[in-house]
Amino acid sequence: MDVTEIDRPETHAAERKWTVAEVEALFALPFPELMYRAQTVHRQFHRVDAVQLSTLLSIKTGGCPEDCGYCPQSKRHAGAVASEALVPVAEVLRAARAARDQGATRFCMGAAWRGPKDRDLEPVLAMVREVKTLGLETCATLGLLRPDQALKLKEAGLDYYNHNLDTAPDFYGEVISTRQYQDRLDTIEAVREVGLKVCCGGIVGMGESRRQRAALLAELANLKPYPESVPINHLVRVPGTPLAEQAPLDPFEFVRSIAVARITMPRALVRLSAGRQELGEAVQALCFLAGANSMFQGDKLLTTGNPQISEDQALLGKLGLTAEVM
């Protein structure tokens, strides 16, 4: 497709349906043109100097029955992390208070479940209620949800539910066999139905083609409405997982993925998620130029490393960016 056939950024504000070919054509733009378009959209909808900070806590680590090829928490992989018990509510509250004191505005609780059993949900509801009292936005990522479970989380005061599409429909089966793409779409639908905000993104660098990266972003952008938050994870190659030896993605392709997410989902928070440690400062700076306006703060994601808070503060300082305040 010719560059001139692609809509100009100003027409992207409206809800529209994206074809994979259109999204792939954005990926193929000359890098400066893509960055210009992403920045134009970014400036229409967001402050350019503010980055929203979220902090993650793994409330239930390891022992997961699913077989997601990237994940160190699957008990099926040789490199699996040890299975731990659910973290007590008081400990969650301590972590949330520390996150707030360090400038995070959203606290995200993650569990290594296929989905919560009913007996699992009660303590999570208590965590949500307690974290909410600190004035933080709350987010949970607990796997597949039924509509009644989504409703209970909403009633407990949950703001966001994170559930990723992870990759393109036609690459998904290469990575995960224990749940289907449609299961994920059903969970996102259940979350929307009860009025929770949706945090939904994916992982790049798992060996997918550019067209498949475009197809993931088209799927996300075509959700009606598109997610309020879009985490773009760079695969963390964890030893002992099936994707441990995956060839690294060209960093510019990662930056392009961020820019295309920004253009196709103008109002969303585009979150620079897993993999920041490996990206380095210069590539992260390009990601902010490409329209990323959110990231995870804290030296650990769920089980893998993330930059030290002091390193992030230094980077934001050098770039003249400030942490968003609510």
Among 69, 143, 227, 266, binds ligand SAM (CB under 6 A): 143
- Measured from the CB atom, is 35 or 71 closer to ligand SF4? 71
In the complex with ligand SAM, which residue's Cβ is closer, 136 or 216? 216
211 with 23: CB under 8 angstroms? no
DSSP-assigned states of every residue in 247-295: PPPPHHHHHHHHHHHHHHSTTSEEEE-TTHHHHHHHHHHHHHHTT--EE
What is the footprint of ligand SAM within residues 165-194 (CB under 6 A)? 166
Q: Smallest distance, Å, CB 94 to ligand DTB? A: 20
The Cα 213–Cα 24 span in angstroms is 8
- Supply 63's token pair: 């022992």
Residue 291 binding ligand DTB, by CB under 6 A = no
Q: Does the footprint of ligand SF4 cover residue 80 (CB under 6 A)?
A: no
Residue 30: C-alpha distances to residues 3, 18, 62, 195, 249 (Å): 9, 20, 42, 39, 18
**Interaction between residue 138 and ligand DTB (CB under 6 A):** no
Smallest distance, Å, CB 63 to ligand SF4? 9
# residues near ligand DTB by CB under 6 A: 17
Q: Candidates 61-69, 146-154, 191-199, 254-262 — which segment interacts with ligand SF4 by CB under 6 A?
A: 61-69
Tell me which stretch binds ligand DTB (CB under 6 A): 115-123, 230-238, 240-248, 308-316: 230-238
Report how far apart, in Å, the C-alpha atoms of 7 and of each of 45, 158, 253, 302 are: 17, 36, 21, 38
Helix and strand counts by DSSP (H, E) for the chain: 11, 10
In single-letter form, the type of residue at position 240 comes to: G
Instruction: Determine if 241 is a binding residue for ligand SF4 (CB under 6 A).
Output: no
Annotated catalytic, 287? no
- Between CA 163 and CA 165 the distance in angstroms is 7
Q: Looking at the DSSP assignment, which residues form a beta bridge with residue 232? A: 202, 272
Site for ligand SF4 in 118-147 (CB under 6 A): 143
Residues that bind ligand SF4 (CB under 6 A): 64, 66, 68, 71, 73-74, 112, 114, 143
Active site residues: 64, 68, 71, 108, 139, 199, 271
